[in-house]
Copies of this chain bind each other. A is one copy, B any other.
Amino acid sequence: MEKKKVTRCCYSLCLLTSVGLNIYFVSNQYLKSEWKINQNKLSWSQEAAAEAEAVALISCSGHGRAYLDGLSDFVDGKPFCECNTCYGGHDCSIFSTDCAADVDSGDPLFLEPFWMQRRAASLIVIVVAGWHRMSYTFYDHSFVSQELENHIRRVHSIARNAITKGKYIIFGGGSTQLLGAAVYALSMNLSSPAKRVAVCPCIPLYKSQTDFFQNTNFEYEGDSSLLKNSSKTKTNIIEFVTSPNNPDGNLREAVLKGASVRAIYDHAYYWPHFTAIPSPANEDIMIFTISKLTGHAGSRFGWAFVKDEDVYQNMQKYISVAEMGISREAQLRALKLMKAILQGNGTDIFDYAYKKMSDRWKKLSQIVSLSKRFTLQEIPPQFCNFFEKVRGPSPAYAWLKCEREEDTNCNSVLRAANIIGRAGSIFNVGDRHVRLSLLKSDDDFNLLLHHLKKLVVTEEDDARTM
């Protein structure tokens, strides 16, 4: 009898626990009340969200990552790891010891860990339903998300790097497309073709766009310095001013003045990440890109602030004729990223990026300082409007110079030491210089340090054997 009682008691306890568990599961899944939906009651987005999380969990040993739209296993559809340069194997765990450090491109992967560390923050995720913004235009018949515009202006006011009030905004396919649009807008309706110039070293895009588009309204003249004080300043001139400059990181101002001169300021790198901000920029045409602010180069999203209404209208016309505005998905993502930046006091990304770039610069400088063969550009400490103090350099690129007389092709010298840089001639100056990108992944940067150190350490031996 006693045994039976115990058994019944046991039964009841089990039943209670079990029913309790069921109540928990049911309530956990089906209850909640504001306009925002209960997160446990997801329906159509659930499977896609689960898939995205599963992909994010695929281990690539910290030397790669798997993507939703990557090539995948034929059997279970699991995407393969896409490994960083010099890493391989199904989980990117195999390092190729003789692999070159590829620091050629300005791929801004240095910010990838910033976003990965914020994995838990739902704020950086975009979820796009099948019917999201199918139309050619937004509600106000424009190609521009007003919400995104507002958020971009707020990010500038926190970074204290530009005066945006009283200026029109235009969205483009990266700063690349906006540069093209600005040149077209400035060179339309002129009596004679406008000369396009830039102080070099300067990025090759200015020349390559002119060469490729072969427009009747403009031609590429070369270095602005050549035109300074020359009679040509009476002709129509468009001066590109990249500030801070790519490749050398120096802050720049237009060198040419006059009624027939118009400047386009490429401010891609004018963020606390890469430079002191002496004062907020306030030029007539200023171009920025998400690529160098958040690191999302793949989104192809940039914006320009323009003071003059006619120039603004013509730039808009260019974007419209070229491709009828910028992808809604890219704009939604940019909005999410801006919102993420603005969280808290809005300084996280700038603190993180400055620390990282400054750290990289210090490490690199230290190695180069041991060398007599190589030197780096000098960037003096300067007061920064954002940090409200004098701060050291943290440039996007190292502009390395080979000092030995015989090293006329500095890029070849580095190439022989397993370092892939970008030759000075590409920036319209001599090959004594090489640009080394400091923007890439930690793997790329560490490999650069490794190979450079080896090169510097063996420098004296090399000199002796020559």
- Asked if A299 and B329 sit within 8 Å, CB to CB, the answer is yes
Minimum distance in angstroms from A70 CB to a CB of chain B: 7
A42-B53, A135-B298, A300-B326 given; 14 more Cβ-contact pairs under 8 Å:
A8-B8, A18-B18, A36-B51, A46-B122, A49-B125, A69-B148, A70-B147, A109-B134, A115-B134, A125-B130, A130-B340, A134-B295, A209-B321, A322-B322
A-B contacts, 30 of them at CB < 8 A, read A8-B11, A18-B19, A21-B25, A25-B29, A34-B76, A37-B50, A37-B51, A39-B42, A39-B50, A45-B49, A46-B122, A47-B123, A48-B49, A69-B335, A107-B136, A108-B134, A112-B131, A112-B134, A115-B129, A116-B131, A125-B130, A128-B128, A135-B298, A174-B324, A176-B323, A176-B324, A212-B321, A216-B216, A329-B330, A329-B332
Chain B residues with CB under 8 Å of A168's CB are none
Which of A11, A22, A124, A324 is most buried by chain B, counting CB atoms within 10 A of its CB?
A324
Q: Is the CB of B297 within 8 A of A134?
A: yes
Output the residue of A116, A148, A208, A299 with the most chain B CB within 10 A: A299
- Tell me if A43 is interfacial: C-beta within 8 Å of chain B: yes
Contact of A46 among B42, B48, B180, B216 (CB under 8 A): B42
Within 8 A of B (CB), among A315-364: 317-318, 321-333, 335-337, 340
**Whole-angstrom distance between the alpha carbons of A118 and B48 in the complex?**
14
> Does A422 make an interface contact (CB < 8 A)?
no
Instruction: Let me know if A167 is at the binding interface, CB within 8 A.
Output: no
A-side interface size class: 35 or more
- Are the CB atoms of B136 and A298 closer together than 8 Å? yes
CA distance A65 to B133 in the complex (A): 9
Q: Do residues B328 and A128 form an inter-chain contact, with CB atoms below 8 A? A: no
- Is A235 interfacial (CB 8 A cutoff)? no
Question: Quick one: closest B residue to A298, CB to CB?
Answer: B328
**Partner-binding segment picked from A54-62, A223-231, A280-288, A305-313:** A54-62
Establish whether residues A52 and B129, one from each chain, have CB atoms under 8 Å apart when the complex forms: yes
A100 within 8 A of B: no
